[in-house]
Amino acid sequence: MLNDILSIKNLAREEIEKAESLKEIQDLKVKYLGKKGILTGKIKSLGSIPQEDRREYGRILNEAKIYIEDLLGKYEETFNTAELNKILQTQRIDVTVPGCYIPIGRLHPTTQVLDEIIKIFTSLGFNVEEGPEIELDFYNFEALNMPKNHPARDMQDTFYISDDVVLRTHTSSVQVRVMQNNVPPLRVIAPGKVYRCDADVTHIPMFHQLEGFMVDKNITMSDLKGVLEVFIHMVFGVDTKLRFRPSFFPFTEPSAEIDISCVICKGAGCNVCKNTGWLEILGAGMINPRVFEMAGYDPEEYTGFAFGMGIERVAMLKYGIDDIRLFYENDKRFLEQF
């Protein structure tokens, strides 16, 4: 009996010492000390030992158990430490290594200004509407009181796709589309790309505009003035002055061009405002009754105002940019300034 225990002890020690992994140690633990383990079996059979030997036998059995437990524990710890070290070695992170620089993009200045303008008008209760960039001649011209051969068409150098289809030359084309599908009151802005066959320091073939209009009973020019004043003050500051200059557009009557006091010299005169103290910023007016008729509205019942502006132009004035082409050259040195 005692020899039995001794050989179990020896065998366990041999096996434990030969183990090469934590897993093997865990298996040996089960093999010797588990519920059906070899040593556990011996402990369970203690009852069948004659009374007089049982005490001594139990003591030796217990000793062997503690011995194996301790040995297993020691090896377990060794393997645990080794495994941890391995993980620490292979998955080492040097927190002092400088991080790699990930350049972060930003919104294009045109988008930034457009977003700002949209935010202002939506806060005034205007809804955003969109129309197609490839537009029918009807919505771009005819419905805006510019029939074929109307001289005002020459004001805009149009890209014609066919006799009846153009690349829209302005976002005013959205006006009649919206009116046809809605009943007043209307408070709408229509931002988007427009196209003109033109290119120099202040003109590019594709640029952005924002059209705005308001239609209801009893809309007057003072509503136009009030809305534009709020808008200009929010974009350029409350000290900015506005000036309405009589002008002509076929789709508005009366029409005006709106100037703001020069953002650079505050009106004193500089080369940006060509010493006039004023900068032209947008076109506007009271919607021509002919346009209402085209949309199927009764011009006796409704009145409204409309205005249109170039987004790049607003951005140029806001940031003092003198060449519109900079917006589309994708020069990082330019773009990173916004």
Please report, as ranges, the residues that interact with ligand DAH according to CB under 6 A: 170, 172, 211, 249, 252, 283-285, 306-308
Q: Which two tokens stand for residue 177?
A: 């589309």
Query: Mapped to the 3 state alphabet, what secondary structure does 127-143 carry?
Result: EECCCCCEEEHHHHCHH
Where do we find the tokens 């940006």?
A: 272
In 202-275, at which residue ranges do the beta strands (DSSP E only) sit?
A: 206-216, 242-249, 252-261
If one counts every other C-beta atom within 10 angstroms of the C-beta of residue 238, the result is 9
CB of 181 to ligand DAH, least distance (A): 18
Alpha carbon distance 234, 236 (integer Å): 6
CB of 212 to ligand DAH, least distance (A): 7
CB of 146 to ligand DAH, least distance (A): 10
Residue 282: phi and psi, rounded to 5, are: -160, 165
CB of 211 to ligand DAH, least distance (A): 6
Nearer to ligand DAH, 8 or 232 (CB): 232
Nearer to ligand DAH, 71 or 189 (CB): 189
CB of 270 to ligand DAH, least distance (A): 25
Buried b (16+ CB within 10 A) or exposed e, 80-96: eeeeeeeeeeeeeeeee
Nearer to ligand DAH, 210 or 263 (CB): 210
Nearer to ligand DAH, 250 or 267 (CB): 250
